[in-house]
Amino acid sequence: MASLEAIRKIQERGLLVSPEAARLDDNELFFLAEIAEKKGLIVVKPIEIEPVLEEKKEEEDIEELLVIEEKKGKRSYDDFVEYYNRRYEYLSRLLSHRPGLENVSSIARISRNGGRQEVAVIGMVRDIALTRNGNKAVVLEDPTGKITVFFSKNNEELFNASRDIVLDEVIGIKGLMSRNAIMASQLYFPGIPPIQNMKKSPVEEYILFLGDTHFGSALFLEKEFNNLLSWLRGEAGNEKQREIAEKIKYIVITGDIVEGIGIYPGQEEELRIRNIRGQFEEAARHLSRIPRDKKIIAIPGNHDPVRVEEPQPRIPAEYAEALLRLENFYMYTNPAWIRIGKKQGFEGFTMLLYHGSSLVYYADHIEYIRASGGQKRADHIMKLLLEKRHLAPTQGSNLFVPTPHDDYLLIKQVPDFFVTGHIHRVVAQNYKGISLINSSCWTGKSEDQERRGLEPQPARAIIANLKTRDLRILNFYLGQEE
Ligand SMILES: [Fe+2]
Ligand SMILES: [Fe+2]
């Protein structure tokens, strides 16, 4: 693919570059231009710069699996009802395939039948409370009604499993119906099936995960990032490390690409660049040093200039133009589903990318996660969300817009990689065949994070070997660890 600079130079010479010619590399294009000049040929049709940017997307080996459809105009109450109905429909169907939940009844029906009977129901969690006796009472709702389900503290295993229940999620229950309530004997989450073999590429290639670069912040870790770039360019590291750098084919950035403006009170003090386009120019200045054979895949986060409600659309060219002009840069939505690494006879890997604004809620509201370190245990939170098959099951755990056709935060398929950011911590572990990555950050601790009690692990690059599925954390941090 010819660089935009080369195309411009040739256009300045009075020649027109066709989309076909733009696919050649720079040398070939200049060679062709010379012939065209000598022979008085014209290389047909003018092209705008934008179509070239568009075209690069089609021929590459990155495939976007999720296309978000939006509704124009105002959202009504009905949109919210519809949105929750879609979620319930999908998750209840998923649950109804689980052994033990083949014969679920509607809540209206079991309430009508009354009497002591074994029942199975699927419902959305509307309330969770502890009773005076220390048992747990969960109110479940389906389209036909509501019912209370008790988890006895005497059934320790089940009671412990019920610690994972969160508001608004869809679960399945088996138990004994008596006096208009159910005493639970089994609990089902939508779940991730255990897998036997991890999917592996026939070729040794690597993905590098970066997150929360926060370009434009005065706290941006420039030295560390430059060291990372030197390594990626093959200018630093020992022989083995350079070999790995060369084999990195994809670089994933999980949002908060730039620091943004007006994100939290007092942020001005921590900005080095005070206009948003300038922040993206700074991002492009750094990321343009990454060799062009490495494809940069990025999604927005809450600091980037798009609406904070999820799903977040791509960052528009109006702000991110400098980045979008990099020929190896690909912008997606938040969340995004991407397929990469496809080879002849190998289907490639699916990646679920999510910036992670909901993670904080579960760190604070799930008792055992809070007790084991809260945001420091992003691995627990990521597993929890996977098992619930939703990125933000509880209303209030994220900001969202009800999209009309689907709930795009559902985890409808089991991804090979589940990648988040936002809390500036490092997770790199494999769970049921899925690589869980939470991707550090390249900025120091802001006053806002200080207030939110966030303890970052900055300047870590995580690499995944696609042939072995081994994960490694490379520490570029030069400062003092807390
Ligand atoms: Fe961030
Ligand atoms: Fe964030």
264-273 in b/e form (b: 16+ CB < 10 A) is eeebeebbeb
CA dist., res. 144 & res. 151, Å (int): 22
Predicted pLDDT at 10: 73
Phi then psi for residue 298, to 5 deg, are -135, 150
The alpha carbon of 259 and the centre of ligand 2 are apart by a number of angstroms equal to 9
Predicted pLDDT at 45: 33
The alpha carbon of 292 and the centre of ligand 2 are apart by a number of angstroms equal to 27
The alpha carbon of 471 and the centre of ligand 1 are apart by a number of angstroms equal to 22
The alpha carbon of 256 and the centre of ligand 2 are apart by a number of angstroms equal to 5
Q: Which ligand is nearest to the CA of 257?
A: 1
Predicted pLDDT at 482: 66
Predicted pLDDT at 49: 34
The alpha carbon of 442 and the centre of ligand 2 are apart by a number of angstroms equal to 12
The alpha carbon of 423 and the centre of ligand 2 are apart by a number of angstroms equal to 7
The alpha carbon of 419 and the centre of ligand 2 are apart by a number of angstroms equal to 13
The alpha carbon of 300 and the centre of ligand 2 are apart by a number of angstroms equal to 9
- Amino acid making up residue 411: I
The alpha carbon of 257 and the centre of ligand 1 are apart by a number of angstroms equal to 8
The alpha carbon of 278 and the centre of ligand 2 are apart by a number of angstroms equal to 19
Q: List strands edge to edge, sheet with 349-354.
A: 63-64, 336-340, 349-354, 417-420, 434-439, 426-431
Which residues have beta carbons under 5 A from ligand 1 (an ion)?
Answer: 212, 256
The alpha carbon of 301 and the centre of ligand 1 are apart by a number of angstroms equal to 7
Which parts of the chain have pLDDT scores under 70? 1, 11-12, 14-24, 28, 31, 34-60, 482
Q: Which ligand is nearest to the CA of 441?
A: 1
The alpha carbon of 219 and the centre of ligand 1 are apart by a number of angstroms equal to 12
Radius of gyration of the chain (CA): 26
The alpha carbon of 212 and the centre of ligand 2 are apart by a number of angstroms equal to 7
Q: Which ligand is nearest to the CA of 214?
A: 1
Q: Which ligand is nearest to the CA of 211?
A: 1
- Domains in the chain, please, with CATH? 4-59 (no CATH), 98-188 (2.40.50.140), 206-475 (3.60.21.50)
Predicted pLDDT at 22: 64
The alpha carbon of 132 and the centre of ligand 1 are apart by a number of angstroms equal to 42
The alpha carbon of 302 and the centre of ligand 2 are apart by a number of angstroms equal to 5
The alpha carbon of 441 and the centre of ligand 1 are apart by a number of angstroms equal to 7
The alpha carbon of 123 and the centre of ligand 2 are apart by a number of angstroms equal to 32
The alpha carbon of 383 and the centre of ligand 1 are apart by a number of angstroms equal to 21
The alpha carbon of 259 and the centre of ligand 1 are apart by a number of angstroms equal to 8
The alpha carbon of 376 and the centre of ligand 1 are apart by a number of angstroms equal to 15
The alpha carbon of 456 and the centre of ligand 1 are apart by a number of angstroms equal to 10
**Maximum separation of any 2 CA atoms in the chain, in Å:** 94
The alpha carbon of 424 and the centre of ligand 1 are apart by a number of angstroms equal to 6
Predicted pLDDT at 40: 47
CA dist., res. 21 & res. 167, Å (int): 56
The alpha carbon of 175 and the centre of ligand 2 are apart by a number of angstroms equal to 41
